[in-house]
Structure 1
Amino acid sequence: MEPTEDTTDATGVVSTDDESDSASGGTAADGDEWDEELPERAVDAAERLTRLAREAVDDAEADAYRADRAERLAEHDFTARVRDEDDTLVCYPEEWIEDGTVQIDRIDDTDRAVEVSLSGPGDPDDWAEIEEHNAALVDAVAEAHSEIHAANARAFADFMGNHYARPMDSATEAELSEFLDEYFPRNAWPSEEQRDAVRASLRYVFEAADERTPL
């Protein structure tokens, strides 16, 4: 269920309506090693699906992305809301919630929550890690498909890494459109075969990451 607004009543119980939450969670680790209770892959998927829900052209599509996010987090007994005041995705344990509201007395350790800013690009300081992730996806595409698709995947990796400092499989529909319409024809110097194959190449990238493509 994805309610619609965030309020705090006189009893001190915080409502988790629509993608918002007033509980102050911890932040994701900035170092090389992930030390959060919620796996990093689950957090990355939650961020991507949240961005896709925002870009969705209709309510049904947005609801599908949110349902996918909820299902993935539920595998780890977590849930998520977007805190509107600072545009932050907050993932926190389901045990904090009863009847759709966060119970303050159940928050034993705020560091169990993970916060991800949804404003702007990713952290450039994480570029090396992002490049390693994207390069692995390019290699997977190269192994499963032709060099044409691998070259297109490499161009997409450069676009997402250099322009957004984010993994390829976190791209939204708008970012894919920007790549296809602007970056790819102007910067990748694609052959005719590459141009004809590029949409399939992008689908292969998301398949390699076991993620749903926004295309």
Structure 2
Amino acid sequence: MTDETPDPEAVPVAGPGAVASDEGTDESAEVPQDVIDDVERLTRLARDAVDEQEAAAYRKRRASLLDEYDFTARVREDDTHETLVLHPEEWLEDGVVQMDAIEDVDRGIERPLGGPGDGAEWDAIAERNREIAEAVGAEHGAVHGENAAALAEFMNNHYAKPIDSATDDEIEEFVAEYFPRNAWPSEKQRDRLDRSVALTLEIADSF
């Protein structure tokens, strides 16, 4: 499923200095690299979602990440591939990029989407997270294993990231929001959650 309906008037807005994804490369002085990475993950999740409400939720999360930096995201399509384009909100008027508003094209950021191996990469992350949860259960018991499985599911579905790369904010979101609403935890699970998270992160770090 396509992430969003492309704007036919959308144009490439990233210049030669705004490079595509390349590990170790600073793409933007305005948007942190980890935010760009999260925005790309959310875009891929939205694109691959089978349910439109799920896709919309990913796009909403993506927009909230970029709002802090006054940036916006769109997907540009051509005949062969899709490209994630991030640029300042001030470049837009009624949802269309205004070329006369662009003073420095290098402020734009582009990341190619699609291509061979992408799906396998995300599948590998999800499988590794599930294996970490299974290891927690095998080593520390079923209750901790169930909580670890909930954390794995959260990281897979909401961030498409390895458990060991979870930020403090993401862990807080899992504990405060996702776990009580989506994990249907037992009383034992709730009582042991903090310890479960600590054990899961410990095992993930050495996995």
Q: TM-score, normalised by structure 1?
A: 0.55
* C-alpha deviation, 1:34, in angstroms: 2.2
> Which residue of structure 1 lines up, in the alignment, with residue 6 of structure 2?
5
Contact 2:83 2:112 survives alignment (8 Å): yes
User: Matched residues in 2 for 1:81 and 1:114: separation?
Assistant: 11
> Which residue of structure 2 lines up, in the alignment, with residue 138 of structure 1?
none
* C-alpha deviation, 1:61, in angstroms: 0.9
User: Matched residues in 2 for 1:38 and 1:191: separation?
Assistant: 35
> Which residue of structure 1 lines up, in the alignment, with residue 13 of structure 2?
24
> Which residue of structure 1 lines up, in the alignment, with residue 64 of structure 2?
71
* C-alpha deviation, 1:179, in angstroms: 4.8
User: Alignment partner for residue 199 of structure 1, among 142, 145, 149?
Assistant: 149
* C-alpha deviation, 1:207, in angstroms: 8.4
Deviations 1:143-192 (A, max 9, x none): xxxxxxxxxxxxxxxxx9xx73xxxxxx4xx55555578xx59xxx9697
Quickly say closer, same or farther: Cα 1:71–1:191, change in 2 above 3 A.
closer
In structure 1, the gaps of 5 or more residues are: 8-13, 15-20, 123-159, 165-170
Report the number of matched residues. 151
Determine if the alignment matches structure 1 residue 45 to structure 2 residue 38.
yes
Contact 1:88 1:117 survives alignment (8 Å): yes
Aligned-residue sequence identity (percent) comes to 39
User: Matched residues in 2 for 1:66 and 1:60: separation?
Assistant: 10
Contact 1:28 1:116 survives alignment (8 Å): yes
In structure 2, the gaps of 5 or more residues are: 156-162, 183-207
- CA RMSD for the aligned pairs? 3.8
Quickly say closer, same or farther: Cα 1:6–1:206, change in 2 above 3 A.
farther
Secondary structure of the residue that 1:32 maps to in structure 2?
coil
Contact 1:27 1:113 survives alignment (8 Å): no
